Structure 1
Amino acid sequence: MAVYRKRISPIKPTESVDYKDIDLLRKFITEQGKILPKRSTGLTSKQQKKLTKAIKQARILSLLPFLNKD
């Protein structure tokens, strides 16, 4: 019998994801600038969708890079 533990979300359910909060958004993108998947971030589906929208909006406004060519 496997025991499953409920994952603790890195973002509190009451906390909103904002495109202007670059420090928070940077935690959820890779070195190349890719958005991390839900299974590795530990977010809920709803939070992951909001996060993705915020990252894409920040990219459009040039707050985050589309890709890092280092």
Structure 2
Amino acid sequence: MGKRRSGPPRGGRPVKSKPCVFCKEDVAYVDYKDYNVLRRFVSDRGKIRARRVTGLCPQHQREAATSIKRAREMALLPYVVGR
């Protein structure tokens, strides 16, 4: 029915992307043991947040997702937070 729009949002101003946190701090790799950092990229329900929400570059988003999954395996982060 409706067409998909490409380009700036309806307000007319293009959205500025914030710089990647890990690129800005020149982090070599995302460590799964640093769960305090990883908690920023997990929702309150335990889901991994999308790249457009976290503001990470594609490479660091992939590394963060892998690190979150490893931290879950080691029981540092929960798979699901209470229902």
Aligned-pair distance for 1:9? Answer: 1.4
Q: Which runs of 5+ in 2 are unaligned?
A: 1-11
Kindly tell me the number of residue pairs found equivalent between the two proteins: 70
The higher radius of gyration belongs to 2
SS in 1 for 2:41: coil
Q: Which runs of 5+ in 1 are unaligned?
A: none
Q: In structure 1, which of residues 37, 41, 63 is the aligned counterpart of residue 50 of structure 2?
A: 37
Q: CA 1:62/1:5 → structure 2, altered by over 3 Å: closer, same or farther?
A: same
Q: CA 1:4/1:31 → structure 2, altered by over 3 Å: closer, same or farther?
A: closer
Q: Indicate yes or no: 2:22 matched with 1:11.
A: yes
SS in 2 for 1:30: coil
Q: Tell me, in whole angstroms, the C-alpha distance in 2 between the residues paired with 1:6 and 1:56.
A: 26
TM-score, normalisation: structure 2: 0.73
Aligned-pair distance for 1:10? Answer: 2.0
Q: Indicate yes or no: 2:81 matched with 1:63.
A: no
How large is the Cα RMSD of the aligned pairs? 1.9
Higher relative contact order (CA 8 A, sep 6+): 1
Q: Tell me, in whole angstroms, the C-alpha distance in 1 between the residues paired with 2:38 and 2:56.
A: 13
